[in-house]
Chains A and B, each alone.
Chain A
Amino acid sequence: MTALCLNVEDLHVVYDVGSTALGRRRRLHAVNGVSLAIPPGETLGLVGESGSGKSTTGLAILRLIEPASGSVRLGNTDVAGASRQEIRKLRRRMQIVFQDPFSSLNPSMTIQTLLEEPLLIHTDMPASERRAMVGKTLEAVGLHPGYAVRYPHEFSGGQRQRVAIARAMIVRPEFVVLDEPVSALDVSTQSQILNLLKTIQTESGTAFLLVAHDLAVVRLMSPNVAVMYLGEIVETGPSARVYDQPAHPYSAALISAVPFPDPQRQRGDRIILRGDLPNPMAPPSGCRFRTRCPFAMDVCTAEVPLPVPIEGGGTASCHLHTHGPRLGGQSLRPLIHTRRMQMV
């Protein structure tokens, strides 16, 4: 087995959210036993709705919030067990790009200062080398080195996101969390940034965790994907397999919810999910997805589904594979199609 860049096992994140009238602490289990592995130079997509815990997972891996338990290893280094001081050093090796480049860049710093800051903290490069590095990195993200003297407000959203990417990449990290890196950008510039991230990865060999809600974006960017629902991973596998042949009803619903840019091809085999994400303070018993699942059976209330290996790679945690239609690791597509026919 090749060495992994990032290996996460059984990660839990619990938020304290005040207390009840009787003084009992109320807790929200935002991430519930998540395991992920990313080889060097590869991207793993992590998809789900808001409230699924996907961003929290990314932040907990980087220790930007404290995990309750679980192991996180970056190469051979234990991240979850590292002391505060050790974490500061580890920051050079793991970085993050946030969704909104309007709030993630300090407006009072020039681009030069913004990009030099990580070098000042993490390296002992002399000033002349730092300046050269800033120029080189700006060019790598497709910005003119002369822009270094400008301030963030002088740039468009797409250009700011390039700066944020440059700031993350300038210390040559092994691993970067990309938290919805294009969803705040104008549509015409989104694919510029996606293509840029791909190029940068090819050159730098950095591993990415791409947190996103759009499975089509993940399908383009990463060979593998994990789908999260209410703090748990419900399906994993090669992105192409999950996108074309989803084996969990939630993955299928997420894919079909994104409207396709073709008026002739709408609402075909679309799965409509009724209702909202349930209250994470009191998740449903058995399968957490059962309250919104169009295929829910009795067993789904009683038992927690275990991961089942899926044909074509990965796993899905869904009773449909072992009960009812007993899909046995096959795609859900035929089932969706039959259901659609029955409804018509």
Chain B
Amino acid sequence: MAFTNDAALLEVNDLVVQFPSPNGWLTVVDKVSFSVGRNDIVCVVGESGSGKSVTMQAAVGLVQPKGGRVTSGSVHFEGQELIGMGNRQLNRIRGNAIGFIFQEPMSSLNPAYTVGEQIAEVVRRHRGASRRDAWKRAVEMLDRVNIASAASRAHDYPHQFSGGMRQRVMIAMAIACDPKLLIADEPTTSLDVTIQSLILELIRELQRESGMSVLFITHDLGVVADIARSVVVMYGAQVVESASVEDLFRAPKHPYTGGLLEAMPQVALERGHDPVAIPGTVAQAHAWPSGCRFNPRCVFRQDGVCTTAPIVLSRDDHGLVRCARSSELRGVLAGMGIRQLGSAA
């Protein structure tokens, strides 16, 4: 589950991250909490500027080099506090117990080294393996991610691979040290849909076999439905909803989640009308609206209730939601869920 878990592998609590701007520090992650259990796949879904990627970067100490700062909150990984941990210690965890894949595989790979060398390097660094063993492991990993004739392809350079193949190489590198957690930040966004479905299948398969947990960051609700077990929805630097994947799609609890579903072409097609667009534009860190950050775009906004005081995250049996009107809107919002579609085949 994405919310509170005693035996969580990763637990993010009240994380606040700020970046400098000409007008002072901007809060781009605002008291974000969620957890990733063992053997779990959690999707963090949100649009650009929602804070979903920064949350992940802050959790593993990657915002300071970019000029950002973590002002409060904690991130526990296997009981260890990662916030404030020194780089030397973090380096022992990153790439080892926590593997990463990013959106642009080409910019994450070094063009001057063969892919075999780059995977072997990771194994040598974290496992202290000999050159020969590390190379063997690299080939084994390339084979594991379904790269044909892995032993010879290991001698090839990144530019000799297609986009989809490079992402496979990144995955091979990320899982070479048997991570307990794989963080995947929009790993299929730059790929064709046909290649995307293969990469999602591969991640799912690797997860099932190894029992590692996956923290998957995406903007695409289709991808969420395909891969997630639980979902954290972010908007305007905050968590606005958190639920199991079934609950989220059957009965969204936040108007933003419901609106995202209604705006999807596939959903509109099934319902036989044009997509219902969410009006307005995504909220920006330099000008958060007062009250609910989604209120200027929300069709259910009620002046006063939604527009003055900050809205707190409240809990029910099925998850968390940050909406002042969530209990009275429950029925309406459930009507936006996927269950309402004709064919449930």
What residue in chain B is nearest A192 (Cβ atoms)? B277
A-B contact pairs, 22 of them (CB 8 A): A49-B194, A156-B281, A158-B281, A191-B268, A191-B276, A191-B277, A194-B277, A195-B274, A219-B265, A220-B265, A220-B269, A220-B275, A253-B194, A254-B193, A256-B197, A257-B197, A261-B225, A262-B338, A263-B225, A274-B198, A276-B162, A276-B195
Does B105 touch A at the CB level, under 8 Å?
Answer: no
With A188-B259, A273-B198 given, can you name 11 additional A-B contacts, CB distance below 8 Å? A187-B220, A188-B263, A188-B277, A189-B282, A194-B277, A213-B193, A217-B265, A220-B269, A258-B193, A261-B266, A261-B338
Measured between beta carbons, the chain A residues less than 8 angstroms from B193 are: 49, 213-214, 254, 257-258
Looking at chain B's contact residues, the main secondary structure is helix
Does B323 touch A at the CB level, under 8 Å?
Answer: no
* Nearest 9 pairs of A and B residues by beta carbon: A191-B275, A259-B222, A259-B226, A192-B277, A216-B265, A257-B193, A188-B278, A191-B277, A156-B281
Is the Cβ of B279 less than 8 Å from the Cβ of A192? yes
Does B319 touch A at the CB level, under 8 Å?
Answer: no
Interface residues of A in 163-219 (CB under 8 A from B): 186-192, 194-195, 198, 213-214, 216-217, 219
Measured between beta carbons, the chain B residues less than 8 angstroms from A268 are: 345
What residues of chain A have their CB less than 8 Å away from a CB belonging to chain B? Answer: 49-50, 156-159, 186-192, 194-195, 198, 213-214, 216-217, 219-220, 243, 253-254, 256-268, 270, 272-274, 276-277
Measured between beta carbons, the chain B residues less than 8 angstroms from A265 are: 225, 344-345
Is the Cβ of B219 less than 8 Å from the Cβ of A254? no
What residues of chain B have their CB less than 8 Å away from a CB belonging to chain A? Answer: 47-48, 162, 164-165, 192-198, 200-201, 219-226, 228, 245-246, 249, 256, 259-261, 263-269, 274-279, 281-282, 297, 338, 341, 344-345
Measured between beta carbons, the chain A residues less than 8 angstroms from B264 are: 187, 191, 261
What residue in chain B is nearest A269 (Cβ atoms)? B345
* Bound complex: CA A132 to CA B24 (Å): 40
What residue in chain B is nearest A51 (Cβ atoms)? B192
* Bound complex: CA A216 to CA B274 (Å): 12
Measured between beta carbons, the chain A residues less than 8 angstroms from B276 are: 191
* Bound complex: CA A262 to CA B222 (Å): 7
* Bound complex: CA A14 to CA B193 (Å): 26
Measured between beta carbons, the chain B residues less than 8 angstroms from A189 are: 277-278, 281-282
Is the Cβ of B274 less than 8 Å from the Cβ of A198? yes
* Bound complex: CA A219 to CA B264 (Å): 12
Is the Cβ of A187 less than 8 Å from the Cβ of B225? no
Is the Cβ of B249 less than 8 Å from the Cβ of A188? no
Report which of A159, A257, A262, A277 forms a contact with B281, defined as CB distance below 8 A: A159
* Bound complex: CA A219 to CA B270 (Å): 11
Is the Cβ of A156 less than 8 Å from the Cβ of B222? no
What residue in chain A is nearest B263 (Cβ atoms)? A191
Measured between beta carbons, the chain A residues less than 8 angstroms from B220 are: 187, 259
Measured between beta carbons, the chain B residues less than 8 angstroms from A158 are: 281
Report which of A50, A187, A194, A256 forms a contact with B219, defined as CB distance below 8 A: A187
Is the Cβ of A194 less than 8 Å from the Cβ of B225? no
A229 to chain B, nearest CB (A): 11
A234 to chain B, nearest CB (A): 14
Report which of A159, A261, A272 forms a contact with B267, defined as CB distance below 8 A: A261
Report which of B223, B226, B228, B275 forms a contact with A195, defined as CB distance below 8 A: B275
Measured between beta carbons, the chain A residues less than 8 angstroms from B197 are: 256-257, 259, 270, 272
Most chain A CB atoms below 10 A, which of B200, B225, B297, B344:
B225
* Bound complex: CA A318 to CA B69 (Å): 57
Most chain A CB atoms below 10 A, which of B196, B220, B245, B265:
B265
A239 to chain B, nearest CB (A): 10
What residue in chain A is nearest B195 (Cβ atoms)? A276
